[in-house]
Amino acid sequence: MATMSDIAREAGVSLSTVSYALSGKRAISETTRERINAAITRLSYHPHAGARALASQRAGAIGLAVPLAEDVDAHVVMMFVRSLMRAAHQASHEILLIAGEDHATTARVLAEGKVDALVVMDVVEDDPRLPILAEAVRPVVLLGYPSEAHGILRVDFDFEQASALAVMELHRRGARRLVMIGSPSVTQTRHATYADRATRGFRTTCEQLGLQARHVVHDHEVDSTGQLVRAVLAQDRPDALVIHNESALPAIHRALTEEGISMPSDLQVVAIAPRETALLGTAEYTAVEIPVEQIGRAAVTTATDLIEGRSGVGDQLIAPSLIERDTTHPLRP
Amino acid sequence: MATMSDIAREAGVSLSTVSYALSGKRAISETTRERINAAITRLSYHPHAGARALASQRAGAIGLAVPLAEDVDAHVVMMFVRSLMRAAHQASHEILLIAGEDHATTARVLAEGKVDALVVMDVVEDDPRLPILAEAVRPVVLLGYPSEAHGILRVDFDFEQASALAVMELHRRGARRLVMIGSPSVTQTRHATYADRATRGFRTTCEQLGLQARHVVHDHEVDSTGQLVRAVLAQDRPDALVIHNESALPAIHRALTEEGISMPSDLQVVAIAPRETALLGTAEYTAVEIPVEQIGRAAVTTATDLIEGRSGVGDQLIAPSLIERDTTHPLRP
DNA sequence: ATGAAAGCGCTAACAG
DNA sequence: CTGTTAGCGCTTTCAT
């Protein structure tokens, strides 16, 4: 393995010149730069990550505590992982995976400086990890929005406004009896912040608008979706549905079709889901889209801002917007 | 941040004693060990990952090149990621994620020693990455089984024997006209090694046994699964199905049900899929199970063996076995 | 059972 | 524009 001194010798310059040539932190004459690059190619040199980390106090990686629990939809997790990888890559960082459930390791990895910052997914209300993470010497960013964050920065989609928006838009389109099909019960009981906040937005807004509201929990794996849908339709026949359960959406769609329901005439539906999930191929759902890419980018940006010690970073609640598609009535002026 | 010298001073011992106390690489008297541990707690010391990496030439991480392409089932990828994380954790390693498509970064991360070894997922036949990876100074393990590996170690489930086994067992149970529903067409055209090998095992074995064989590709996202199933059933009515397409399995199941097919009486079915996928709740499929946990463990073990310079490591092809459940006829003696 | 000291390969003052 | 040098915080021979 060639080292930086090898390059220096080979190029006939000093060690620091090579270092600066690589970092670009000071001007290097065209000629020496070329000789250095030639030497680098000739010896196929690669800077040693460990040495750099020690000298610069930067690991060049961001930790990501991913939920490994089965109730969290793997597909959605992967979408977030992807978006974080992309964003981290742009910021010249790698993503180090940490099992979200293994909090001891999570804390250790951060404390040892194996990562420059930590992004925590799947935060729940009163998350036991927060008090400890609040003490960490390196930046932490929550991908979630607990009401009490212990001073840790939060980044998330505004799920509360998302379902509020869904309700308001359905109301404007004549809906009066709404049902929300929410996350699996495990997710609810854990009080994943996105589930809690989405439910709250639904309840509050229905109340404010004087709408009849019902919230049902759906365990895709366990319940027969057909039964659930029939039950939902049977009990004083709702005229609109808000669905916040990405893994169950296809099954719900099928069940509705089987019941002979046509949307939006019999029932208006708004999904709260990532774009890919809302587009079922067969049907295109009106949706409050979860902008996964944007959320991931925001989390990484916040993390790198904190790493670089930039000021003016704060919580970030990404505003929802509704994309009208086939499952709601058009709004006419 | 407390350093090791701080601990040494605080405990009244030398630097090296602290180091050895932590690594356990030489005997330390009970009393000094206690004083060191006390100091560590008091100053809440954590060894610096970068410094350790530099001095020991070990990063304590394994790189994982994950496929980010949409045609690779996110759920299955996550299952592998999970299993690799678990295995890596047992070996005191973290997993550093690398976008499989970004080969430049992959090679760089390995060359810089940011990881001690690299595991590559979703290998295809004649994978352009292999020649370069073969030159790497650090260990590489393929999670896949290309016919030409350029000397790189391969670890995979034996997909060829898996579908061969499925065919043989169906044959023993009286099946004579077989259809295999395989991976999406993008996967096939890329020649993902698992798809190629599974197809080959099916074809070869059917031929050997003189069975009528048909292989259809299924794009779950694009095709209507119902249509596909009807087409499959229409063309000289097969008596058995081999399904190797995890994301489509639920949809296929539904389509079969809708067609009024009852298994195994009308049609025997063997799935090649992870256990979780083969158990649909509604129905339990006879399956050649993809032992994700075992595969992940094998990959990590191979990687760590190579890191430690252990000898006797070689390619590993994990043998399949069939789990009889509800979709095949029982075999009676 | 413990210490002293020489690196590991870089970064970033400091000095011209 | 370039060079010299002092660390960064560990691991690991040598010694004793």
Element (H, E) at B287: strand B286-289
Question: Model confidence at B5, in pLDDT bands (50, 70, 90)?
Answer: very high
Other C-beta atoms closer than 10 Å to the C-beta of B131 total 12
B237 in contact with A at a CB cutoff of 8 Å?
no
C-alpha closest to that of A195 among A55, A31, A76, A328 = A76
- For A284, the enclosing helix (H) or strand (E) is none
- pTM here is 0.95
Instruction: Confirm whether B331 is domain-assigned.
Output: no
User: Residue B254: phi, psi to the nearest 5?
Assistant: -60, -45
My answer on whether A276 and A188 are in the same domain is: yes
What CA–CA distance (Å, rounded) separates B11 from A289?
A: 57
Same domain, B66 and B34: no
Is B176 inside a domain boundary? Answer: yes
- The CATH number of the domain holding residue A96 is 3.40.50.2300
Q: Can you tell me the distance from the alpha carbon of B191 to that of B126, in angstroms, rounded to the nearest whole number?
A: 9
Q: Please check whether strand C approaches the CB of A275 to within 7 Å.
A: no
CA dist B307 and A117 (Å) reads: 27
Quick one: pLDDT at residue B223? 67
Considering only A17-26, A273-282, B101-110, which range has the smallest mean pLDDT? A273-282
- The reply to whether A41 touches chain B by the CB within 8 Å rule is no
Provide mean pLDDT across the span B268-296.
Answer: 94
What is d(CA A243, CA A182) in angstroms, rounded to the nearest whole number?
Answer: 6
pLDDT digits 0-9 by tens, A172-193: 999 999 999 999 999 999 999 9
Could you give the CA distance from residue B166 to residue B286 in angstroms, rounded to a whole number? 9
Residues facing B316 on adjacent strands: B155
Q: Is A240 within a domain?
A: yes
Q: What tens digit of pLDDT does each residue of B64-99 get?
A: 999 998 888 999 999 999 999 999 999 999 999 999
For B96-117, what is each residue's pLDDT tens digit?
999 999 999 999 999 999 999 9
Cα–Cα nearest to B179, from B206, B150, B143: B206
Per-residue pLDDT averaged across B168-173, rounded? 97
| Domain carrying residue B72 | 61-158+292-318
User: Both ends of chain A: CA-CA distance in Å?
Assistant: 71
Asked if A154 and A164 sit in the same domain, the reply is no
- A326 in any annotated domain: no
Q: Mind listing the pLDDT tens digit for each residue in A289-316? A: 999 999 999 999 999 999 999 989 999 9
B137 to chain A, any CB pair closer than 8 A? The answer is yes
Asked if residue A222 has pLDDT above 80, the reply is: no
Task: Name the more confident of B281 and A287.
Answer: A287
Q: Which of residues 285-324 of B touch A (CB under 8 A)?
A: none
Under an 8 A CB cutoff, do A85 and B99 touch? yes
Same domain for B93 and B104? yes
**Domain check: are B134 and B189 in the same one?**
no
Contact A39, A7 (CB under 8 A): yes
Residue A223: the pLDDT is 67
Q: How many structural domains is chain A composed of?
A: 3
DSSP code of residue A195: H
What single letter denotes the amino acid at residue B288?
Answer: V
CATH number of residue A24's parent domain? 1.10.260.40
Distance from CA of A172 to the nearest CA of B (A): 33
At B255 the three-state DSSP class reads: helix
Nearest-CA distance A76 → chain B (Å): 9
Q: Where are the alpha helices (DSSP H) in chain B?
A: 4-11, 15-23, 30-42, 49-56, 74-90, 103-111, 129-134, 159-172, 185-190, 193-209, 225-234, 249-258, 275-278, 292-307
SS3 A253: helix
